[in-house]
C-alpha cells in the first residue's frame, strides 16, 4: 500500500514536471538547450520578452525557478526573517527594486510610533503579521495613513531615506524616526537601517556617497532584488532582508552586523595577506553561527594551471571564498585556485 502511494506520488510529480517543462522552455543557450521548470516571475530585465539568456543565466544555472516554485500562482522567494549584511560601499536603499527589503532595526523604532500618546492612534501596524515592522508594512495603506509615515523624498513609496530625513537635500533629520536617541542602547544612535563606518564621523546613512560606488547596491540586487514586482530583476532569494553596512575596518563592521542580527555576511574585499583584524572579525562571526562570504579577487588568475597557492585563502579557515562563473559555468573574472570553496554564476 505504501509502495503504491509512493508510485502514485511519483507519477503525479512526473506529470507535473512534464507539464511545467512544456510551459517553461527557455531558448537554446549556445549549443545547449537549457530547460527549467518552476515559477517564472515577471521581472522584465531577466524574464521579460526582451531579456536575453545572458541576462538570466544565473537563475537558469542555479535552477532558481524550481526552487521558487510552490504553484502556478504562488512562489517562495525566501525568508524575510533572514538578514543578510551587505558589508560593502553602501546600498542605494531608495532603489525601486530594493527599498522593501532593506532591514529596519526594530529596537531603534521610537516607542512613540509603536504606542503613540494619542488614544485615537494605535501606532504602527504589523500588517502581514510576521512580528516585524518592515518596509512592506510601512507601504501598506494602514500605515500610510499615519502622520509619521510620509514619502518625504517624493519617489512614490516609503524607503529608508524617508525615515532618516524629512528633507534629504538640506540634511534635515526626520525626528519622528531619526530622533537623536539611541533607543536600543547599542552605542549607535539612530541606526535605523544600518551603519556607515566609512564617513567621517561615522553615521547612520550607509549610502554610496561617491558616484560610481554601485558595488554594494549591485550585490544587494543579485541576492535580494524584489522579485515578481514587474520592475528590474529578481534576486536569488528576493524576500531576504538586506542590512547595509558601509565598511571601514573589518572588526567594527562585522561586529555590528553580527550583534544586530545578520546571519549571512556578504563582503567583497581584496584580501592579499594576513590581517589580524579580519581574523578577529571572522572568529566573532563564526562563534555566532554567521556565514561569512568574501569573493576572490577579479584578476582572473588560474592557480590550477599556473600552479600557485593563494596562501591567504587557506589561512582564513572560516571564510567562504566563492568565485563567479560565466553562462557556461566556466571560470569568469574571479581568480581560482587553492582555498576556493564554491562557484556561483553571477
Ligand atoms: Ca520615498
Ligand atoms: Ca542604536
Ligand atoms: Ca533613535
Ligand atoms: Ca524586481
> In this structure, which ligand is nearest to the CA of 47?
4
Is residue 199 domain-shared with residue 187, that is, in the same domain? Answer: no
Residue 104 Cα to ligand 2 middle (Å): 11
For the chain, give the percent of residues with pLDDT over 90: 69
**148-196 tens-digit pLDDT:** 999 999 999 999 999 999 999 999 999 999 999 999 999 999 999 999 9
Question: Do the domain assignments include residue 65?
Answer: no
Is residue 173 domain-shared with residue 127, that is, in the same domain? Answer: yes
Predicted pLDDT at 336: 84
Quote the domain boundaries for residue 109.
Answer: 105-192
Residue 320 Cα to ligand 3 middle (Å): 34
Q: What are phi and psi of 225, to 5 degrees?
A: -60, 140
Mean pLDDT, the chain, integer: 88
Does residue 338 contact residue 310 with C-beta atoms inside 8 Å?
yes
Predicted pLDDT at 331: 76
Question: What total number of domains does the chain contain?
Answer: 2
Assign residue 228 the CATH number of its domain: 3.40.50.200
Is residue 263 domain-shared with residue 294, that is, in the same domain? Answer: yes
Is residue 171 domain-shared with residue 227, that is, in the same domain? Answer: no
Question: Do the domain assignments include residue 335?
Answer: yes
Residue 162 Cα to ligand 3 middle (Å): 14
Is residue 2 domain-shared with residue 138, that is, in the same domain? Answer: no
C-alpha cell of residue 286: 563564526
Residue 147 Cα to ligand 3 middle (Å): 18
Residue 331 Cα to ligand 4 middle (Å): 27
| C-alpha radius of gyration, the chain, whole number | 22
Is residue 203 domain-shared with residue 331, that is, in the same domain? Answer: yes
> In this structure, which ligand is nearest to the CA of 186?
2
Question: Do the domain assignments include residue 184?
Answer: yes
Residue 233 Cα to ligand 4 middle (Å): 4
Residue 112 Cα to ligand 3 middle (Å): 11
Is residue 95 domain-shared with residue 134, that is, in the same domain? Answer: no
Is residue 221 domain-shared with residue 86, that is, in the same domain? Answer: yes
Of 2 and 331, the one with more pLDDT: 331
For the chain, give the percent of residues with pLDDT over 70: 90
Is residue 231 domain-shared with residue 220, that is, in the same domain? Answer: yes
Predicted pLDDT at 36: 58
Is residue 291 domain-shared with residue 242, that is, in the same domain? Answer: yes
Query: Distance (Å, rounded) from C-alpha 212 to C-alpha 214?
Result: 5
Predicted pLDDT at 29: 43
Question: Do the domain assignments include residue 32?
Answer: no
> In this structure, which ligand is nearest to the CA of 184?
2
Is residue 12 domain-shared with residue 147, that is, in the same domain? Answer: no
Question: Do the domain assignments include residue 208?
Answer: yes
Q: Which residue, 158, 192, 226, sits at the end of a domain?
A: 192
Is residue 2 domain-shared with residue 126, that is, in the same domain? Answer: no
Q: Which of 95-99, 137-141, 146-150, 316-320 has the lowest mean pLDDT?
A: 316-320
Residue 170 Cα to ligand 2 middle (Å): 23
Q: Which residue, 144, 166, 192, sits at the end of a domain?
A: 192
**29-80 tens-digit pLDDT:** 443 334 457 999 999 999 999 998 888 899 999 999 999 999 989 999 999 9
Residues in the 5 Å CB sphere of ion ligand 4? 43, 97, 225-226, 229, 231-232
> In this structure, which ligand is nearest to the CA of 188?
2
> In this structure, which ligand is nearest to the CA of 175?
3
Question: Do the domain assignments include residue 310?
Answer: yes
Question: Do the domain assignments include residue 171?
Answer: yes
Of 257 and 23, the one with more pLDDT: 257
Q: Which residue, 192, 217, 235, sits at the end of a domain?
A: 192
Amino acid at each position: 500500500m505504501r509502495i503504491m502511494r509512493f508510485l502514485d506520488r511519483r507519477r503525479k510529480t512526473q506529470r507535473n514536471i512534464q507539464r511545467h517543462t512544456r510551459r517553461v522552455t527557455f531558448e537554446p543557450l549556445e549549443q545547449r538547450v537549457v530547460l527549467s521548470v518552476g515559477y517564472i516571475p515577471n521581472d522584465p530585465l531577466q524574464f521579460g520578452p526582451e531579456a536575453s539568456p545572458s541576462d538570466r543565466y544565473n537563475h537558469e544555472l542555479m535552477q532558481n525557478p524550481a526552487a521558487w516554485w510552490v504553484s502556478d500562482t504562488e512562489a517562495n522567494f525566501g525568508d524575510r526573517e533572514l538578514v543578510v549584511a551587505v558589508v560593502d560601499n553602501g546600498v542605494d536603499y531608495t532603489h525601486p527594486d530594493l527599498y522593501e527589503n532593506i532591514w529596519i532595526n526594530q529596537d531603534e523604532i521610537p516607542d512613540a510610533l509603536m504606542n503613540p500618546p494619542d488614544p485615537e492612534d494605535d501606532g504602527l501596524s504589523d500588517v502581514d503579521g510576521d512580528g516585524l515592522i518592515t518596509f512592506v508594512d510601512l507601504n501598506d495603506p494602514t500605515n500610510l495613513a499615519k502622520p509619521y509615515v510620509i514619502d518625504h523624498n517624493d519617489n512614490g513609496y516609503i524607503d529608508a531615506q524617508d525615515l532618516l530625513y524629512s528633507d534629504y537635500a538640506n540634511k534635515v533629520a526626520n525626528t519622528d524616526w531619526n530622533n537623536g536617541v539611541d533607543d536600543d542602547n547599542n552605542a549607535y544612535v539612530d541606526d535605523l537601517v544600518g551603519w556607515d563606518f566609512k564617513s567621517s564621523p561615522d553615521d547612520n546613512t550607509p549610502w554610496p556617497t561617491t558616484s560610481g560606488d554601485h558595488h554594494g547596491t549591485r550585490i544587494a540586487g543579485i541576492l535580494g532584488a524584489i522579485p515578481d514586482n514587474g520592475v528590474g530583476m529578481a534576486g536569488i532569494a528576493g524576500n531576504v532582508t538586506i542590512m547595509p553596512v558601509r565598511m571601514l575596518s573589518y572588526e567594527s563592521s562585522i561586529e555590528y552586523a553580527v550583534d544586530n542580527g545578520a546571519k549571512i555576511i556578504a563582503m567583497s574585499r581584496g584580501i592579499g595577506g594576513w590581517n589580524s583584524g579580519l581574523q578577529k572579525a571572522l572568529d566573532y562571526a563564526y562563534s555566532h553561527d554567521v556565514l561569512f562570504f568574501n569573493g576572490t579577487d577579479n584578476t582572473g588568475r588560474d592557480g590550477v594551471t599556473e600552479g600557485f597557492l593563494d596562501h591567504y585563502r587557506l589561512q582564513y579557515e572560516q571564510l567562504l571564498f566563492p568565485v563567479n562563473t560565466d553562462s557556461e559555468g566556466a571560470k569568469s573574472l574571479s581568480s581560482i585556485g587553492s582555498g576556493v570553496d564554491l562557484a556561483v554564476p553571477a
